[in-house]
């Protein structure tokens, strides 16, 4: 049998990517609205379904670690939660944000059928994230003095500092894992992300059980063995990429990865700031709560609530990813109307799903809390915080999807300013005022952060999206791709 030509391979590859169907070929103007919604929903779920499993699986690895730590003792739960949710969460936000520039670049390049550029973009992201990762090692080395500076008790700060040192291998895994994840996601390589995530989750759960229940090795060993699963994810992704899983988009290591690094790093930095300003917000809530009376019990209860919130947030965040890919694909293909319609369907779907989970969590909140603690004092505190958890869940149904629209369109720089103003110039001061000045405690802090941050950000993003000229955005995407293509003249 003769070898398949490159054109034939490209045509065959496109058959398996329904995201890039031409609306006009199906007669979009004659298609019924319900059918359009159904078709777009299938495209969104084609991305968001595996993304939900991937995000739930990877986050569940942290939840499992905290759950096992909680049954070792209250101190172990508090220290582990701070090390994972605050320190590793800050680090993850930085690297996730910077690598999310690939959502824009790879998504638009895939939509424009410039497949070879996806591998170049991923390698550039490795370079940028490696430099960033080395710089942020200090975050893990000085955890104890940082936590004491922000008012945490010495007992919690000391143990969290030791635990954070054992999280450094996971930090290094992020550098390679995140760019590969966005690279695969942008071209609908969903099977590999799903199966590799499942493998990592199963291995992690088994190792946690062995460490705590079988060998009784304690919290440090629990955290240390948790690094293994993350490196399994890295090796699984990398093996798939270099062993023929991405024949069109991976052509090997290239020196072109080092060209245009400065321009690439500027977009990565804007993406990083945009995401970090959102991710760090929850960390500010935990740090402020550490200065309240009965901080240990409050932190444990708040940790449980935020863990449940983040667990549910994996669904809206998956629609964030799906929306970013869909919008970028359609803009890269020059279809502004398709990008707009994808945004609308994704927002409505995410709202419906979040309402369902809001009802579920409000009904079973006490039972969910028992997964993390057996202390009745902590369970009662969780019950008091549940209304604030419910409002946060509802607000999070829209905001991530609108951020996905921004990422797919390349608006990261503007959204970073919106996040800075709503979260940190309004939300944090309001939270401090209600929590400490008016002495409303953790409820006041959380209420201020909710209504001063996500609520305002959602309103602004909704207004910006509603006024967007999508045809103009499609033209900008075409110029943007030309700028990043090393085989074309750089647009100044």
Rounded to whole angstroms, the Cα distance separating 151 from 471 reads 51
Domain ranges (residues) in the chain: 43-484
* Alpha-carbon 356 to chain mean position: 21
Q: Given this model, what pLDDT does residue 18 score? A: 44
pTM of this structure: 0.75
Q: Given this model, what pLDDT does residue 480 score? A: 63
- Which pair of tokens denotes residue 168? 């450094």
pLDDT digit string (tens) for 109-128?
Answer: 888 888 889 999 999 999 99
CB 370 within 8 A of CB 379: yes
pLDDT digit string (tens) for 442-483?
Answer: 888 888 888 878 888 888 888 888 888 888 887 877 776 665
Residues with pLDDT less than 50, the chain: 1-26, 28, 486-492
Label residue 22 left, alpha or beta by phi (over 0 means left) and psi (-120 to 50 means alpha).
beta
pLDDT digit string (tens) for 333-379?
Answer: 888 888 888 888 988 888 888 889 888 888 887 787 887 777 888 88
Q: Match 């955005």 to its residue by tokens.
A: 473
Tell me if residue 396 falls in helix, strand or coil: coil
Which residues lie closer than 8 Å to 438 by C-beta, 6 or more apart? 444
pLDDT digit string (tens) for 217-254?
Answer: 889 999 999 999 999 999 999 999 999 889 999 989 98
Rounded to whole angstroms, the Cα distance separating 75 from 69 reads 9
Q: Given this model, what pLDDT does residue 8 score? A: 44
- Which pair of tokens denotes residue 285? 């809530």
Q: Given this model, what pLDDT does residue 260 score? A: 78
CB 186 within 8 A of CB 118: yes
Rounded to whole angstroms, the Cα distance separating 318 from 400 reads 9
């Amino acid at each position: 049998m003769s070898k398949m030509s490159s054109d034939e391979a490209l045509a065959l590859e496109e058959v398996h990517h329904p995201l890039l169907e031409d609306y006009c070929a199906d007669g979009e103007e004659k298609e019924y609205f319900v059918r359009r919604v159904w078709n777009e929903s299938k495209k969104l779920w084609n991305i968001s379904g595996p993304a939900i499993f991937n995000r739930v699986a990877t986050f569940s690895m942290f939840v499992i670690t905290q759950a096992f730590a909680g049954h070792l003792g209250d101190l172990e739960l508090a220290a582990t939660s701070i090390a994972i949710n605050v320190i590793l969460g800050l680090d993850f936000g930085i690297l996730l944000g910077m690598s999310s520039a690939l959502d824009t670049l790879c998504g638009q390049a895939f939509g424009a059928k410039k497949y070879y550029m996806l591998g170049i973009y991923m390698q550039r992201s490795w370079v940028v994230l490696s430099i960033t990762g080395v710089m942020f090692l200090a975050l893990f080395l000085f955890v104890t003095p940082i936590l004491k500076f922000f008012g945490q008790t010495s007992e919690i700060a000391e143990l969290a500092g030791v635990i954070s040192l054992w999280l450094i291998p996971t930090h290094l895994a992020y550098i390679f894992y995140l760019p590969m994840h966005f690279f695969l996601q942008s071209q609908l390589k969903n099977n590999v992300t799903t199966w590799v995530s499942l493998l990592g989750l199963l291995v992690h759960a088994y190792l946690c059980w062995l460490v705590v229940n079988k060998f009784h090795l304690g919290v440090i060993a629990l955290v240390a063995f948790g690094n293994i699963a993350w490196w399994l994810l890295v090796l699984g992704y990398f093996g798939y990429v270099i062993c023929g899983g991405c024949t069109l988009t991976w052509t090997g290591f290239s020196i072109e990865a080092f060209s245009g690094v400065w321009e690439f790093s500027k977009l990565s930095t804007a993406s990083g700031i945009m995401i970090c300003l959102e991710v760090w917000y929850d960390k500010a809530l935990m740090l402020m709560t550490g200065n309240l009376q009965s901080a240990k019990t409050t932190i444990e209860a708040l940790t449980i609530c935020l863990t449940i919130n983040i667990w549910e947030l994996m669904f809206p965040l998956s629609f964030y990813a799906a929306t970013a890919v869909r919008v970028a694909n359609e803009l890269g293909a020059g279809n502004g109307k398709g990008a707009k319609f994808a945004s609308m369907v994704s927002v409505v779907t995410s709202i419906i799903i979040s309402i369902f989970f809001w009802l579920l969590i409000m009904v079973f909140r006490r039972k969910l809390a028992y997964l993390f603690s057996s202390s009745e004092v902590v369970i009662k505190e969780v019950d008091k915080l549940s209304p604030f958890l419910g409002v946060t869940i509802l607000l999070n149904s829209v905001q991530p999807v609108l951020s996905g629209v921004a990422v797919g369109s390349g608006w990261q720089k503007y959204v970073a300013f919106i996040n800075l103003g709503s979260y940190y110039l309004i939300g944090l001061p309001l939270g401090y005022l209600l929590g400490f000045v008016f002495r409303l405690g953790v409820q006041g802090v959380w209420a201020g952060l909710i209504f001063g941050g996500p609520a305002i950000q959602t309103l602004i993003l909704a207004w910006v999206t509603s006024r967007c000229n999508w045809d103009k955005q499609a033209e900008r995407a075409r110029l943007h791709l030309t700028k990043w293509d090393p085989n074309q003249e750089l647009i100044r």
